[in-house]
Chains A and B, each alone.
Chain A
């Protein structure tokens, strides 16, 4: 559909001119804030002063803000916590989701319907903030990193997406493996997973983005600001505009490093950029799989 059909009328002047303008404006609405934030984060004190704040036209670029942020201190630690939570959480979530999706992919197996019901019912209601807090509290997980992983480890949606994909795998393949004497775990590892790389990748990326962006669980369960993930730092320092806590051994980010001192605004914007970059890095992979229709197909099915 890259050419207009013969029966279709010529576009009107409004359509020909207006459509590209509207499309450009839409793209700009997304891209412009990101651009300003990146440019400001790379600007020197003079550039920020001359611009009177945020920098739109780049002049005198420097990476001082990033050097300062990543050379230890609150943001470095928060970044490492976020990376670790995302890596461990994603591996854990993906592992149990693959297992459960396969375990539930066989209609007619023992307890199939009640177990599926247990998963699907979570779509209908959440347990509520207060009771969840009390359970995490009574398990002794307050201020424990596990509280950032375990309560939100399973997305029923991701589980169902993956299960739908597994159920689409021809049963002849699985049956022939079973006749050859393969057990369920071997079938999952040698037959189902190699055929499901796309859906495993997409679900893994969804989990990873979820862990990276998670803010609410940290707000509820992590009181010790030495254990804050990056989103909490972002919220305190940028959204609430409070000074960053300086934990034991931490270097206050506002303290300059001699000549390299970066302006406060550049530091702030650099934290924003650091929070965006991982999402931008995985985004092309997520998008590539959209075009394959993995998600849409699974949702419709």
Chain B
């Protein structure tokens, strides 16, 4: 198999060549041939593999310190293994459960108040006839997605913070100033409002794409049958969006333990840990600021493992209800 003619090379590259029988072709001369043919491709992938190895997979192994009484001076090898002691301490810690509760309630509030907004925006924008207006509005509402969280929090502070425009206006009209940025009671609504401002427009894209795949002939036929605009929305538009809505809903549930890190770490000192501590900030504070690395890693590992299980379960569920799921094989 040292001399190879071109056509088989091409045949191997096409998807049809990837059949159950392909494994037997590998090994021995086939392997050497493929190596000689494909080594430039391997060289190209190498930098990414090395970087992912060093900064993704290697640190993932470093999670063993969750089972250690880790000391930075002793290192992983020198630190004692203490089994699940970090975890049992964590489960008896009220601060940990508060972080879990905060995270889950923020997810719940966002499901109710954030999730429907991109859908409504997409429906609204889709009903605008002038393409100029549509493009203009799209351009405006996508923009905040590209702002950093630092910037978004800064802007909110200037608008509704203690020294912000709202307080300033209230004071000038003889009212009491309000600082909506430091109130623990309404913090959950504040972060949801910030998320809406930043990402609702961006979230609309996928719904707009789904709307554009609905056959316009359906609307015409429904209108001919006497369906008014609301009945058309109910019987054509929403069923057309259903797969996307179900998929995104499941994904969001699978991601229930992730509510964003920067947004919360930025506002933690203003609001206090009681309302703003979420799992990610808990890991950061306990691990790096308190310096209890093993304990912080345990909290992080807990979040990672539960999150992974949730995502996989959500994906399995998506397949079960007949949706495409996220990890469809490509």
- Residues of chain B contacted by A96 (CB below 8 angstroms): 47-48, 51
Q: Are B148 and A231 within 8 A (Cβ)?
A: yes
Q: Are B13 and A296 within 8 A (Cβ)?
A: no
Tell me if B12 counts as interface (CB < 8 A to partner A).
yes
Band of interface residues on A: 35 or more
Q: Are A171 and B146 within 8 A (Cβ)?
A: no
- Residues of chain A contacted by B87 (CB below 8 angstroms): none
Contact of B154 among A106, A209, A219, A239 (CB under 8 A): A239
Q: Are B158 and A19 within 8 A (Cβ)?
A: no
Q: A131-B62, A234-B150 are in contact. Are A37 and B155 (CB under 8 A)?
A: yes
The interface-forming segment of B88-96, B98-106, B107-115, B165-173 is B165-173
Residue of B nearest to A272 (CB): B154
A129 to B197, CA, bound (A): 27
The interface-forming segment of A59-67, A179-187, A244-252, A255-263 is A179-187
Q: A132-B55, A235-B150 are in contact. Are A183 and B158 (CB under 8 A)?
A: no
A33 to B155, CA, bound (A): 6
Residues of B in contact, count (CB < 8 Å)? 111
Q: Are B127 and A19 within 8 A (Cβ)?
A: yes
- Residue-wise interface mask of B (163-184) relative to A, using a CB-CB cutoff of 8 A (1 in contact, 0 not): 1110010011000000000000
- Residue-wise interface mask of B (3-18) relative to A, using a CB-CB cutoff of 8 A (1 in contact, 0 not): 0001000101111011
Q: Are A234 and B151 within 8 A (Cβ)?
A: yes
- Residues of chain B contacted by A286 (CB below 8 angstroms): 146
Q: Are A131 and B63 within 8 A (Cβ)?
A: yes
Could you write out 24 A-B pairs with CB less than 8 Å apart? Answer: A4-B129, A5-B219, A7-B219, A8-B229, A26-B121, A31-B140, A33-B155, A37-B155, A96-B48, A110-B38, A128-B60, A128-B301, A130-B300, A133-B287, A159-B48, A183-B40, A184-B40, A184-B41, A185-B44, A216-B261, A239-B270, A272-B158, A283-B143, A301-B330
| Contact surface of B with A, Cβ cutoff 8 Å | 6, 10, 12-15, 17-18, 22, 31, 34-35, 37-45, 47-49, 51-52, 54-63, 65, 72, 121, 124, 127-131, 133, 135-144, 146-151, 153-159, 163-165, 168, 171-172, 197, 201, 205-206, 209, 216, 219-220, 223-224, 228-229, 261-262, 265-267, 269-270, 280, 283-284, 287-288, 293, 296-297, 300-301, 304, 307-308, 311-312, 327, 330
